[in-house]
Amino acid sequence: MEYTSLGRTGLSVSRICLGTMNFGPHTDEAAAHALMDTAHQEGLNFFDTANTYGGGDHRGRTEQIIGSWFAQGGGRRERTVLATKLYGNAGAPGRAPWPNEDKLSALNIRRACEASLKRLGTDYIDVYQMHHVDRATPWEEIWQAMEVLVAQGKVLYVGSSNFAGWHIAAAQAAAGRRHFTGLVAEQSLYNLLARTVELEVLPSARYHGLGVIPWSPLQGGLLGGVLRKAGQSGVRSADRARKLTAAQREQLQSYEDLCDKLGHEPGTVALAWLLHQPAVTAPIVGPRTADQLDTALRALDVTLDQETLDRLDEIFPGHRPAPEDYAW
């Protein structure tokens, strides 16, 4: 297993991050426990979750499943770099959130952290991530609340998710004024089909020393061989394939043909491409089964030569950092 530092920290994380969003809604507790055990056996130590995962009336269920796995002992917690998130409504199911039950007020940051620690059955969170930017709460308030959690030992590092490049810059400027570390990582939508972050988010993250943790590396399954699977009577894939535009279908057909030529599964190539991007720390994979996890891990053994990388850029054109990308 390959490991790397998370941004400008001394924290060593696996080059693949285990996403747990499916735990609860699609993967029951026993299967989730087995999947996390397999992840540890394969050397994955970086797990990502959120306080709202579980969905609907089961918000927080995913954290509870992780907590019950930690409770089995055997070094499970000690060997895991745990990232969770706050922002969304984490109030009681079946009602609208009360004030300060969502977003990033100092009160909600405190409450949400305490609730996550309880569900997770741990006394600290390695990376506490803001799931979205809160345009209504001043950075001074956010950082003061995070500083308290760090001082109490309940949070080691703070991260962001779905931030624009200028949000990262503003956050780091405010943290710097307080002599606080600020952000150490950013989670962004990033894959061969979604490359907008190359304009400003990735340059900002690199400038400020943040690790980048791409979510949806297969663009909801489109980069996982959707055309091939649709032809194999996959109901879900067939539905996705029907919704493709002509241009998307042409792109994906060229992509799947290239993957066939390379001798690798499309999903493996998509992950391998992300691992070849210098700004990327660890793509998040959200397997429901051990077989899906195994497919993702194969990406670590795939080396894409420059000719292949150039061909992928032809199929899925990317961006240069701004302002060069905007130049005539």
> Where in the sequence numbering do the catalytic residues fall?
53
Decide if 134 contacts 167 (C-beta within 8 A).
no
Task: Compute, in degrees rounded to 10, the torsion defined by CA atoms 248, 254, 255, 258.
Answer: 180
For the chain, how big is the Rg over CA atoms in Å?
20
Which residue from 194, 223, 215 is spatially nearest to 49, judged by alpha carbons?
A: 215
Residue 309: Cβ within 10 Å count: 12
**Which residues, 6 or more positions from 121, have their beta carbon under 8 angstroms from its beta carbon?**
67, 68, 70, 71
Residue 172: Cβ within 10 Å count: 20
Say how far apart CA 148 and CA 278 lie, in whole Å: 33
End-to-end CA distance of the chain: 43
Say how far apart CA 22 and CA 161 lie, in whole Å: 18
Decide if 188 contacts 212 (C-beta within 8 A).
yes
Using DSSP bridges, classify how beta strands 183-189 and 155-161 pair: parallel, antiparallel or unpaired.
parallel
